Structure 1
Amino acid sequence: MSQAVRPNFKLSRTAFSVLAVCTTLLALPSHAQQTAAGAPAPTPAAQANLLEAVKVTGKRDRTADPSAIIAAKSKVLSRNYASSCGFMSGYVPEEDEATLAYLRHFGSLDTDLDDLSPDGSAKTPSSAESTDIAPGIPTSPSVACAGSDIRFAAGRNWIARKDKSLQQAFDAYAAGNYVEARTRFEEGWKKLGYEEAAMMLGRLHLLGLGTPASTPKAVEWLNEVIEARYNPVNDRLRYDPKTPDQINTRIEATLLLARVYLSGEGTQRNPQEALRLWRKALDFGFEPANTLIGQAYVSGVGTAADGRKAIEALTASAAAGHVPAMLLLGQLYQQRVPKQPPGIPLDLEKAGAYYGAAARAGNVEATYAAARMLDLGEGTARAPEQALALYKEAAVKGHAEAQNALATFFYQGDVVPQNYTTARQLFQAAARGRQPDAMFNLAVMLAQGQGGEKDMAAAYAWCALAKSQGHEQAAVALPAIAVKLSPDDKARADAMLKPAPKKS
């Protein structure tokens, strides 16, 4: 974990008389020695699941949303999807007469649904040609089409408007009746080829809901969605950076399948295939896929590490408004990424610009990073007042590094009035967030009784925790604190470090 960031801040020798034996080593950490803010680019271990960077499910509701059902029906009836001749679109009054004429041709409006289209299914048109067209059905639509196309489109139109399988499937899914949901999703797929049905069937098979878990079957269903007929003009997602997790069914299936191949859940791990699917998701309009592609080039997942290609993908994603790409670009240009890929020069000006853009979009990690650069004067003149404001913004959101940095301002009192009570509260908040410098800083204040009562037991406990996190100064200070503990202090410290197990 990275350390604090406030430069050259030390506890005075006089103030820390309790630990006089090692006062020269008991300085609060120098901010100038610290790493960049925020979550660094994923380490090789973290790269085992890159898809965590983008939510696979997005914000799609799994309940029976009426608007979602209407949208699904409209899609299967659209001129770009329903048939090769594009005869039928969604319901419009002008087409009612043609539909009714088609139904009259069969002699009844009460005919079983599966008999109203070729081969008893509206999902796939018949290959057989027919010239027996009912009176009133146009034979020369805007694009050339045969009689079977018209019969197929009219049948699909009738079935889709009457069909309730998708609604029933989502109702059953929401109620936890997964067997019924699977049956109804299969019915919807067989009748009309709803992509939503195939997507959910893939999910059910992957998770073993209502059916034995089977990754191969899940892959088959997900591929049905991914490889379905696609119109890049009408079907491509219109990405909105204000709702970055919003996705459609095709993109959801693509990201979910990529996750399967990346993690090897029930199948052979295949990062190359995951990378191919991310590119496909990008083609489908999901701009954050470029962030995943960029991360792959940073860490060499599914491809060789390549800084130039990483920057290219991430820059495109950032230009589209994806905030995580902005943050990662800042880290790369600041060269703060572990195992930095080759081909990315140090550019503090660009780093600051990307951090600033991400901070303005509300990203807490970027807010802290921008504060740190202003605090240390990296790529810009030092501006501690501006840094203080940004540290406060990130600290309020619970950022432990920012809380620790902000605490040092109040401890030192060089930009704001000195306030030990506030400093101690902030160090404690950061320490609870497992920030090792804050643990040590809090231990110092507790041992000295600054900003509150002296508490040697708590001082020892926090110093021990800081040591366990690899804090070198804590390792030196711990023995000096230990010799000052009373038997009661030692018992309390042990209880803090090894709490009794909870009673069942």
Structure 2
Amino acid sequence: MSLIKKIIAAVPLSLLLATLSVMASSIEEGKEALQNENYTFALEQFQLLAEKGDAEAQLFLGGMYLRGEGVDQNLEEAAEWLKLAAEQGEPTAQNNLGWMYQNGRGVSRDFQEAMKWYRRSAEQGMAVAQQNIAQMYYDGEGVSRDYSEAASWFELAAEQGLTKSQETLGDMYYRGMGVDQSHEKGVQWTRRAAEQGASVAQYNLGVAYSEGLGVPQSYTDAAAWYLLAAEQGDSEAQFNLGNMYYQGRGVEQNMVESTKWYQLAAEQDEPEAQYFVGVAYAEGIGVTQDSLEAVKWFFQAAENGIDEAKEELEKLSEQNLAEAKEALEELN
């Protein structure tokens, strides 16, 4: 009799194991299909499992509705599926639902709800949620601005490798915002972000080396970090690198390189760079002399508030350059 009971009891267990195996297989197949942009098959897999209450499937299904992958984008539907997953404790769903509440996407904007779901996710170690909480405290969005609380949450996310948190935390240590000011700790966190390729951190590290903040002053190291940021399009790094080539600081003096970096910064509307590019074309520094190009850049710099650029236009106007006179008339 006891043997029969054991056999009967084993049947539901084997069915359960088989079901779990199929669910796991379907989830993995759905993920693979999603990665391969086979949205129809992925949707079928996730929909089937989501309707049976599988939290991971609900997360992925919500994501497909959020992005409009294989379905018409439907933010309300996305929020519903994410909430079902979030209520089961799925940390990514909790974070994403928090984002939707914070930004009023698919739900009414509600900072308290956003913070609630971010916290649930963050308490499970989700770095992005920790960073989102930090940013809300930093900006005072939905909560009283609290730099100390922001720094605490940024540090949790930074320790998990999030570059934005490392970058911001480094800046907070430089400035003494919510933490005791420490240039050394500022450099420590900034370097970790910079080494992961964050261009703002690379620029900030260049500044630290240029000014000797938290590190021994080194124009060579400053130029190296500016170059990394400049190559990623950071206009301030491009301008500073132009200065370093112009002055021969940390690099061999090179007017061609100097003007090249000035011009890249100028094209991103950096006013001082626009002025120096104007000077370069007016005097033939690192480029072929070209008065018309000089007028163009002086005009842009003057429009952006550089008084010296207007003075240069006046000099060119006195040389009877018609384009300079027209530029001055437009400025006036």
Is residue 410–residue 418 contact of structure 1 (8 Å, CA) maintained in 2? yes
Question: What is the SS of the residue equivalent to 1:334?
Answer: helix
Alpha-carbon offset, residue 372 of structure 1: 1.0
The correspondence for 1:300, drawn from 140, 146, 154, is 140
1:174 — aligned with what?
A: 37
Is residue 221–residue 250 contact of structure 2 (8 Å, CA) maintained in 1? no
Alpha-carbon offset, residue 450 of structure 1: 0.9
1:437 — aligned with what?
A: 272
Is residue 456–residue 485 contact of structure 1 (8 Å, CA) maintained in 2? no
Question: What is the SS of the residue equivalent to 2:105?
Answer: coil
The correspondence for 1:449, drawn from 279, 284, 296, is 284
The change in CA–CA distance for 1:200 and 1:351 in structure 2 (over 3 A counts) is closer
The change in CA–CA distance for 1:489 and 1:264 in structure 2 (over 3 A counts) is same
The correspondence for 1:458, drawn from 293, 305, 313, is 293
Alpha-carbon offset, residue 467 of structure 1: 3.6
Is residue 283 of structure 1 aligned with residue 123 of structure 2? Answer: yes
Question: What is the SS of the residue equivalent to 2:175?
Answer: coil
Is residue 295–residue 323 contact of structure 2 (8 Å, CA) maintained in 1? no
Question: Could you list the per-position Cα deviations for residues 199-242 of structure 1 after superposition, in whole angstroms to 9, with x for gaps in the alignment?
Answer: 233234445666665544322211221122x5xxxxxxxxxxxx
Is residue 94–residue 121 contact of structure 2 (8 Å, CA) maintained in 1? yes
- For 1:160 and 1:412, locate their aligned partners in 2 and report how far apart those are by CA, in whole Å: 68
- Letter paired with 2:7: G
Q: Which has the higher contact order (CA 8 A, sep 6+)?
A: 1
The change in CA–CA distance for 1:138 and 1:433 in structure 2 (over 3 A counts) is same
The change in CA–CA distance for 1:415 and 1:312 in structure 2 (over 3 A counts) is closer
Is residue 389 of structure 1 aligned with residue 224 of structure 2? Answer: yes
1:194 — aligned with what?
A: 54
Is residue 316–residue 324 contact of structure 2 (8 Å, CA) maintained in 1? no
- For 2:305 and 2:129, locate their aligned partners in 1 and report how far apart those are by CA, in whole Å: 36
My pick for the range that moved more, 454-463 or 396-405, is 396-405
Question: What is the SS of the residue equivalent to 1:226?
Answer: helix
For 1:59-458, what aligned pairs fall within 5 Å after superposition? 136=7, 151=12, 153-161=13-21, 167=29, 171=33, 174-177=37-40, 182-191=43-52, 193-207=53-67, 214-228=74-88, 250-335=90-175, 343-379=178-214, 381-458=216-293
Is residue 275–residue 298 contact of structure 2 (8 Å, CA) maintained in 1? yes
- For 1:168 and 1:344, locate their aligned partners in 2 and report how far apart those are by CA, in whole Å: 45
- For 1:373 and 1:473, locate their aligned partners in 2 and report how far apart those are by CA, in whole Å: 29
Alpha-carbon offset, residue 446 of structure 1: 0.9
Is residue 273–residue 302 contact of structure 1 (8 Å, CA) maintained in 2? no
- Letter paired with 1:405: N
Is residue 256–residue 287 contact of structure 2 (8 Å, CA) maintained in 1? yes
User: What is the TM-score normalised by the length of structure 1?
Assistant: 0.55
- For 1:209 and 1:137, locate their aligned partners in 2 and report how far apart those are by CA, in whole Å: 45
Alpha-carbon offset, residue 273 of structure 1: 1.9
- Letter paired with 1:375: S
Q: Alignment length, in residue pairs? A: 323
Alpha-carbon offset, residue 417 of structure 1: 3.5
Alpha-carbon offset, residue 465 of structure 1: 2.8
- For 2:133 and 2:287, locate their aligned partners in 1 and report how far apart those are by CA, in whole Å: 50
- Letter paired with 1:174: E
- Letter paired with 2:103: S
Alpha-carbon offset, residue 415 of structure 1: 4.6
- For 1:213 and 1:403, locate their aligned partners in 2 and report how far apart those are by CA, in whole Å: 40
- For 1:165 and 1:268, locate their aligned partners in 2 and report how far apart those are by CA, in whole Å: 33
Is residue 174–residue 181 contact of structure 2 (8 Å, CA) maintained in 1? yes
Identical-pair percentage = 27
- For 2:109 and 2:318, locate their aligned partners in 1 and report how far apart those are by CA, in whole Å: 54
Is residue 169–residue 184 contact of structure 1 (8 Å, CA) maintained in 2? no
The change in CA–CA distance for 1:278 and 1:303 in structure 2 (over 3 A counts) is same
Question: What is the SS of the residue equivalent to 2:143?
Answer: coil
The change in CA–CA distance for 1:403 and 1:205 in structure 2 (over 3 A counts) is closer
Question: What is the SS of the residue equivalent to 1:444?
Answer: helix
The change in CA–CA distance for 1:482 and 1:348 in structure 2 (over 3 A counts) is farther
